[in-house]
Structure 1
Amino acid sequence: MRRPPRAHPLWLAFILHRLSGLALALFLPLHFWVLSKALTAPDQLDRMLEFTELPFVKLAEFGLVFLLAVHFFGGLRLLALEWLPWSDRHKTLAAGAVAMAFFLSGAFFLRAV
């Protein structure tokens, strides 16, 4: 029996790549605004840096690194789709990319705590 296309693991990888890109695009303006404080209001930047020591911010950093890694490996998956012959084992490679993203962000999180 054939599964509907939206239940296919590679469709889920497609959605994860799009959502991670959207989340990163929403994060970047905030990041640049905080960085601009180094030039315009160093005292405010210092307060923001103190804020980043809170545990929930560390957890959010884990999420950010996870999104970066997922988006990176999703991009590699897309390059593979365009340049390499497609086979059934690409499902495994896509799952491995998500696992690697989780591993890298988890390693970052453990060093950041």
Structure 2
Amino acid sequence: MRSYRNHPLWFAFFLHRVSGLALALFLPVHFYVLGMSIRSPQALDGFLNWAELPLVKFAEFGLVFLLAVHFFGGLRLLALEFLPWSAPQKSLAAGAVAGAFFISGIFLLNAV
């Protein structure tokens, strides 16, 4: 593996790209389910019953985690662009991931 890939900020870069891709793949499914509420309320009721399964609730945790990671990764990029950067950038990136775990963990505890 190349040496720059061992840097923690490369992991932050990679996680931001993967979370953006996963959220982009989720959006059509989300719009489909929203359309279900207009076209067929009975089908939506069936989907909502399925969505109560524990595995689906855990997948929602993953979705909220990806959203939080992408949000904090975007803030990191804005900071890189507009603020003078200092030595503790690794700590800021780790704090962003920790914040994402915190937010998605709160969601998981409320969803279960």
TM category (shorter chain) comes to: over 0.9
Map of 2:47 onto structure 1 = 48
TM-score (norm 1): 0.96
Once the 2 structures are TM-superposed, how far is the Cα of residue 87 of structure 1 from its aligned partner? 1.8
Structure 1 unmatched ranges of 5 or more? none
SS at match of 2:57: helix
* Residues 78-106 of structure 1, C-alpha deviations (whole Å, 9 max, x = no match): 00000111122011001000000000000
3-state SS of paired residue (2:87): coil
SS in 2 for 1:108: helix
TM-score normalised by L of structure 2? 0.97
User: Corresponding residue for 1:90?
Assistant: 89
List, as ranges, runs of 4+ consecutive aligned residues in structure 1 with deviation greater than 3 Å.
none
**CA drift at 1:107:** 0.5
User: What is the percent sequence identity of the aligned residues?
Assistant: 70
Inter-partner Cα distance in structure 1 for 2:27 and 2:80: 28
Alignment-derived partner of residue 109 in structure 2:
110
Structure 2 unmatched ranges of 5 or more:
none
For the aligned residue pairs, the C-alpha RMSD in angstroms reads 0.9
Matched residue of 1:85: which SS?
coil
